[in-house]
Structure 1
């Protein structure tokens, strides 16, 4: 660029531009969320073993006479 006396300097303006400066501030917003608690009850088998005892008398045919399972006293007589 040369300084020529015939070239007069000029100023040209562009249209203005808007520049935004954004500032953010916290705003308290309460959000309510309902939580439903469902209590589910379940039957679960818990085994309790019960022992049943039975007693049975079994007599063999080795006894003579009619005295089955009973002890004879010393004075008892045998039947024939």
Structure 2
């Protein structure tokens, strides 16, 4: 007759299963907004306008055939 195996029963081992359930928690985080103003130089062009009239003299660049008048003398 074959030997029969013996049974040995140990004490139970405890196994934990953690189950989490979400719970809303209100957290207040204050935020302060600071507007910082900075002055930055921006170049821009300012123009001034000068208008002048020029009339050609009849001497050097005058019309051909015209004589240059001599200044008249008063006596």
TM-score, normalising length from structure 2? 0.50
Looking at CA atoms only, which structure, 1 or 2, has the larger radius of gyration? Answer: 1
Higher normalized contact order (CA 8 Å, seq sep 6+, divided by chain length): 1
What is the TM-score normalised by the length of structure 1? 0.48
